[in-house]
Amino acid sequence: MAQERLFPLPDLSGRLAVLGGQLRARTELCLSLALRQARQHGVVVCLDAHGRQQLEMTFRLLLREDAAYIPLPAEGTVSDSIAQQVLQTLQTGLGATPSLPPLLIIDGARETADWEHTLTFFLRTGTVVVELLPHPACLVFGRYETTLLLHAAGAEAEAISQTVGRKVAPEDLERLQPGEGYFIHLARVYRVRFPEHS
């Protein structure tokens, strides 16, 4: 069962899947993660197939040199040149001292064998990968070390609850407030608040 006390979102590691949430809530999460990373002088890259101006403007105006916002085409294809751009930006974070793991946020990238191999390489270098999944069926067992659940209602909440093995009930997902989520790591479930970004 989930801990109902509200915890701050912990530092992330490995590969995290995000389920639920409307576009606005997902944008807020991306901003929170990116700005927390920047405040700790870490490198962050965001791949976005949704073309969100708020997200792009924040990256370009506030985060600057240790951040990259890379728009993807609407179909989410990650070309070789985009993958190379991601690698070049993340490399600056891998050589930093003290070393804070680089953060790669992905929303809307199409899954291909080549891109999956590239992500595996990034993970081996210590990069934290956060993937905002389009629907619960994309949560591949064994691929993600941690799952973060955002607000969901109705059939979506039921599908998410079923996908995560009923660790969080659909009604709990419906009760989540803006800026909150359920953080699932192994058998532990915590209700968390995202970092402030305003």
CATH for 166: 3.40.50.300
Question: What is the DSSP code string of 20-72?
Answer: ---HHHHHHHHHHHHHHHHHTT--EEEEESS--HHHHHHIIIIIGGGEEEEEP
Instruction: Name the pLDDT band for 10 (thresholds 50, 70, 90).
Output: very high
What are the φ and ψ backbone dihedral angles of 191, each rounded to 5 degrees? -85, 125
What mean pLDDT, rounded, does the chain reach?
89
Is residue 198, in this structure, part of any structural domain at all? no
Per-residue model confidence (pLDDT) at position 3: 53
Is residue 135, in this structure, part of any structural domain at all? yes
Is residue 168, in this structure, part of any structural domain at all? yes
Q: Is the pTM of this model over 0.75?
A: yes
Nearest-angstrom CA–CA distance, 68 and 86: 8
More confident residue, 159 or 187: 159
Map residue 131 onto helix, strand or coil: strand
Per-residue model confidence (pLDDT) at position 58: 81
By residue range, what is the domain housing residue 73? 3-193
Q: How many domains does the chain have?
A: 1
Per-residue model confidence (pLDDT) at position 198: 56
Position 29 pLDDT exceeds 90? yes
More confident residue, 91 or 164: 164
